[in-house]
């Protein structure tokens, strides 16, 4: 069974060379070709003998996902792409430029099983998890399309990364390692809806990835309505796990809080959130709801968002209010794939 090249770490290439009786510098040449030169085809790696190139092509294919759709570029330069994997399954990835730097949002699964209320990705359920090389492939495919690498990676696209833990972590190690794409751990963010065992496991990995947790509500009753994951791992388990992650890694958790008019944006919600986070090492990112057809909720008036922000800041909680980038690019999670799916099969059921 071929072992895709983009899933392999430097130690794997060293083992490959050892097993093949090759000098160790070949592993360095391979990694340089893959990630510094971004060859895309083993035949282009002419520093290697032809027989070795043939063997690599047979045993370690270089397969990249194929671009099948792309949103129009928004005024802010945000582009969302739909990528097709070798088996025909499709995921979204988003290219987000700002101030000369680029953040790429990658997917970890085809669809998602977590069913958060205001997310289009969960509408079709989880079809399958992505393999590590497919996740790295999202980055390589966009590097090819745009002629440059992103500065930051956020695993915030389709899927719950901790429901695909091993593949996601392997992919992030390839992106992070010096002989891979060399993207610093602090420039890589994992976003979870609150899968506590994943947070606990990551805390013990000895890595320093940033962690962002979708909170969206300050109490269990409301959060369980919006995010079914809360019924399995309620706030009383989630927040201590986040605290432990910070203690183990020194990384401060960012809590994402989507503001929905009348649902979770009232002053009482702000006060409940303050009670929840006061004394914790935490940052809050407030996101006014991006209206999606799949969720019956409205964007709060800007003044309400500012009042919510102000309440948290006055309580000493580090908080930012994000404008939703890429609305024009269908950038809310899952929408481009859903649109394509509907074009093929008709509309998905609404919740």
**Residues lying near ligand SF4 in the complex (CB under 6 A):** 112, 114-116, 119, 121-122, 158-160, 193, 333
Q: How far is the CB of 147 from ligand SF4 (least distance, A)?
A: 29
User: Do 86 and 136 touch, CB atoms closer than 8 A?
Assistant: no
CB of 158 to ligand SF4, least distance (A): 5
Nearer to ligand SF4, 56 or 114 (CB): 114
Q: List residues with catalytic annotation.
A: 92, 333
- Closest distance to ligand SF4 from the beta carbon of 116 (Å): 3
Q: How far is the CB of 194 from ligand SF4 (least distance, A)?
A: 9
Which structure tokens are listed for 100? 């000369």
Of residues 159 and 326, the one with the C-beta less far from ligand SF4: 159
Q: How far is the CB of 208 from ligand SF4 (least distance, A)?
A: 23
DSSP labels for 189-211?
Answer: EEEES--HHHHHHHHTTT---EE
Tokens read off for 76: 């802010």
Alpha helix positions (H), 105-264: 132-146, 165-176, 196-203, 220-226, 229-232, 235-249
Q: Which residue has tokens 């890429």?
A: 326
Between residues 94 and 119, which has the closer beta carbon with respect to ligand SF4? 119
**Which residue number, 111 or 218, has a Cβ lying nearer to ligand SF4?**
111
- Beta strand 79-84 with 90-98 is antiparallel
CA distance from start to end of the chain: 41
- The smaller minimum CB distance to ligand SF4, of residues 102 and 333, is found at 333
> 228: buried, middle or exposed (CB in 10 Å: 19+, 13-18, 0-12)?
middle
């Amino acid at each position: 069974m071929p072992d895709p090249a983009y899933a392999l770490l430097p130690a794997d290439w060293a083992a490959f060379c050892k097993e093949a009786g090759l000098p160790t510098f070949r592993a360095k040449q391979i990694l340089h070709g893959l990630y510094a030169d971004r060859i895309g085809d083993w035949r282009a790696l002419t520093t290697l003998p032809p027989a070795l190139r043939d063997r690599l092509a047979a045993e370690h294919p270089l397969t990249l996902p194929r671009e099948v759709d792309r949103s129009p570029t928004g005024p802010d330069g945000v582009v969302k792409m739909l990528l097709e994997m070798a088996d025909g399954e499709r995921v979204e990835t988003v290219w987000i430029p700002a101030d000369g730097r680029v953040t790429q949002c990658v997917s970890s699964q085809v669809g998602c099983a977590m069913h958060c209320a205001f997310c289009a990705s969960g509408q079709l359920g989880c079809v399958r998890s992505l393999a590590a090389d497919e996740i790295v492939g999202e980055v390589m495919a966009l590097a090819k399309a745009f002629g440059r690498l992103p500065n930051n990676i956020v695993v915030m696209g389709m899927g719950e990364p901790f429901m695909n833990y091993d593949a996601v972590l392997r992919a992030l190690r390839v992106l992070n390692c010096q002989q891979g794409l060399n993207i610093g751990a602090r420039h890589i963010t994992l976003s979870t809806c609150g899968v506590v065992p994943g947070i606990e496991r990551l805390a013990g990995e000895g890595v320093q990835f940033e962690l962002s947790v979708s909170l969206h509500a300050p109490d269990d009753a409301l959060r369980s309505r919006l995010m079914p994951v809360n019924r399995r791992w309620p706030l009383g388990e989630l927040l201590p796990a986040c605290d432990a992650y910070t203690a183990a890694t020194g990384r401060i958790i960012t809590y994402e809080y989507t503001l929905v008019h009348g649902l979770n944006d009232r002053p009482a919600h702000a006060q409940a959130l303050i009670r929840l986070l006061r004394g914790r090492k935490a940052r809050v990112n407030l996101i006014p709801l991006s209206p999606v057809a799949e969720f019956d909720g409205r964007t709060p008036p800007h003044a309400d968002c500012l009042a919510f922000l102000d309440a948290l800041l006055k309580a000493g909680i580090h908080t930012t209010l994000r404008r939703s980038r890429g609305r024009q690019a269908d950038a809310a999670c899952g929408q481009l794939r859903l649109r394509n799916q509907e074009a093929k099969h008709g509309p998905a059921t609404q919740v």
